[in-house]
Each structure stands twice: as C-alpha cells, then as structure tokens.
Amino acid sequence: MIVFVLARARNGVIGRDGKLPWHLPADLKHFKAQTMGKPMIMGRKTFESFPAPLPGRRHIVLTRDPHWAAEGAEVAHDVDAALALAGPGEVAIIGGAEIFALFLPRADRIELTEIDAAPKGDAVVPAFTGWRELSREAHPAEGDRPGYAFVSLVKP
C-alpha cells in the first residue's frame, strides 16, 4: 500500500527553500501519526531538510547520486529499489514534488492536508484530479494560521 502524506496549499505549493511555507502544529502532529512506524520514501532534499532523522520511522532516500550517503538514510536509486527496501505493508511517500510525480501512478491513497492559503514557493504539486474523497476534517483559520483540512483520497 503506497500512501502519499503531504500538505499542499490551494496554489499547489508544498515547500519554499526546503521548508514548509506555513507553521501548523496540528499538521505536524497529523504527519507524525500518519508516518510513525512506517518506512518513508523521500527525495534527498526532503531528507536533508530535517534537522535529524525522524524517530520511529525508516528513511528511504531516492537519489540519482550514486555516491550520496547519510546517517539514518537507506539509499535507493529508482522507484523499484525504494519499494523493495520498504518491503511489504504500508509505505509513506513524503516528498518532494519530483518524488510524488514518480510514485503517483502507483499510489493507493493520499493523506492530504489542504492548506487554505496561496504562499510563494519553489516546490509545487498539481491537484490530485480523479481521486475520490473518502473523508474530510476541516479546521478554521486561527490568528495568523490559515484554515486547513485533513483529506483522505483514494483511487476511484
């Protein structure tokens, strides 16, 4: 089971300068709940954006660089190798944009935090058209934090 876990603004932005362009503690908590105990597949830039490997999860890093290595990372050089490293069961695909594009044809479910904002950014993921909404939990804006919704999508 391949599950995307991401937050995406209404303009498609998922990141800016290697960081999230918003601060939503509830989204970080949601991300942790969706990924804990699971192998996570990510690109090198996503891995390097973490201050340290996230506890309780395997970090499978997909990179074209045959010499790249980092403590806490299991390295793969193509989609099939990354999935083989992950093994059976649910695997979380956590970004960035190029990684989501590579895995989209194989994805089974998307755990999406829809951010009700349109920030500037340099990492963009197109809308997930053709997916069926399974559930939605909406949260209003609070202070300087935008509104957001936790949305589960499945293939039709």
CATH assignment at residue 29: 3.40.430.10
Supply the pLDDT for residue 136.
98
- What totals of helices (H) and strands (E) does the chain contain, helices first? 4, 10
- Ranges of the chain with pLDDT below 50: none
What backbone torsions phi and psi does residue 145 show, to the nearest 5 degrees? -95, 130
Q: What is the domain range of residue 21?
A: 2-154
The angle at the Cα of 51, spanning 47 to 56, to the nearest 5 degrees, equals: 70
CA distance 36 to 57: 6
pLDDT in tens, 82-99: 999 999 999 999 999 999
Supply the pLDDT for residue 149.
98
User: Who contacts 101 (Cβ-Cβ below 8 Å, separation ≥6)?
Assistant: 125
**What is the number of structural domains in the chain?**
1
Supply the pLDDT for residue 156.
81
